[in-house]
């Protein structure tokens, strides 16, 4: 499996999201056509039409929910893959796990950007990769751009993964993404 780069994610993510939206649009269009057919059936009673329309609404809702679930799964899987690439191969022995846990705990206690930069520089100078990574992650999560860039400069092998992850997060979260999903996966208009 190839490593994710910003360029590869910038080409694959929008097309995947558009594919899910097209599937949702197709489900809504099928709903409209089926609804028209039910309403136009001269042999069905009003009660039968009502029951068929309720069943159609329920079926369409489940299809839209399934498509949204597939989209959420894709985005989550992509984010997890890139985060794993960003972390790199990490030893799983007990000592390494404790070192990473301790570094993450110490990084969570840092409250401002300048302190993070100081601790990062110390970690880089001392060869403390776990602490540097913990600070880099905290900087990325708190949008301390200077600190995140300093981490990436010290670890250039993570730059592509960091850029790819930033692209995924920017395009799969926030008000615009949530509004788009709300509109895409809303029940069809009658």
In this predicted model, what pLDDT tens digit does every residue of 54-71 receive, in sequence order?
A: 999 999 999 999 999 999
Q: What does the alpha-carbon distance between residue 45 and residue 31 come to, in Å, rounded to a whole number? A: 20
Do 82 and 168 touch, CB atoms closer than 8 A?
yes
Do 51 and 98 touch, CB atoms closer than 8 A?
no
**Averaged pLDDT score across all residues of the chain:** 89
The per-residue pLDDT for range 28-43, each reduced to its tens digit, is 999 999 999 999 999 9
Give helix 145-154 / helix 129-141 axis angle, nearest 10°: 150
Q: What is the pLDDT of residue 38?
A: 95
8 pLDDT more than 90: no
Q: What is the pLDDT of residue 1?
A: 53
Q: What does the alpha-carbon distance between residue 53 and residue 46 come to, in Å, rounded to a whole number? A: 10
Q: What is the pLDDT of residue 43?
A: 92
Give the least confident one: 102-111, 126-135, 151-160.
Answer: 151-160
Do 99 and 132 touch, CB atoms closer than 8 A?
no
Q: DSSP string spanning 161-189?
A: HHHHHHHHHHHSSSHHHHHHHHHHTSPPP
SS3 string, 82-150, reads HHHHHHCCCCCCHHHHHHHHHHHHHHHCCCCHHHHHHHHHHHHHHCCHHHHHHHHHHHHHCCCHHHHHH
Do 6 and 164 touch, CB atoms closer than 8 A?
yes
Q: What is the pLDDT of residue 165?
A: 82
């Amino acid at each position: 499996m190839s490593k994710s780069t910003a360029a590869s994610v910038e080409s694959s993510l929008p097309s995947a999201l558009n594919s899910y939206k097209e599937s949702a649009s197709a489900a809504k269009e099928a709903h409209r056509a089926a609804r028209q057919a039910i309403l136009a059936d001269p042999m069905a009673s009003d009660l039968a039409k009502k029951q068929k329309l309720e069943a159609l609404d329920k079926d369409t809702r489940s299809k839209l929910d399934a498509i949204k679930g597939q989209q959420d799964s894709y985005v989550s899987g992509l984010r997890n893959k890139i985060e794993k690439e960003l972390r790199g191969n990490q030893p799983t022995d007990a000592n390494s796990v404790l070192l990473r846990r301790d570094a993450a705990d110490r990084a969570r206690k840092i409250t401002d950007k300048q302190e993070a930069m100081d601790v990062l520089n110390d970690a880089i100078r001392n060869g403390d990769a776990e602490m540097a990574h913990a600070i880099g992650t905290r900087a990325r999560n708190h949008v301390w751009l200077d600190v995140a860039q300093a981490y990436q400069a010290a670890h250039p092998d993570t730059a592509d993964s960091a850029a790819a992850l930033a692209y995924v997060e920017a395009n799969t979260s926030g008000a615009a993404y949530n509004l788009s999903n709300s509109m895409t996966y809303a029940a069809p208009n009658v």
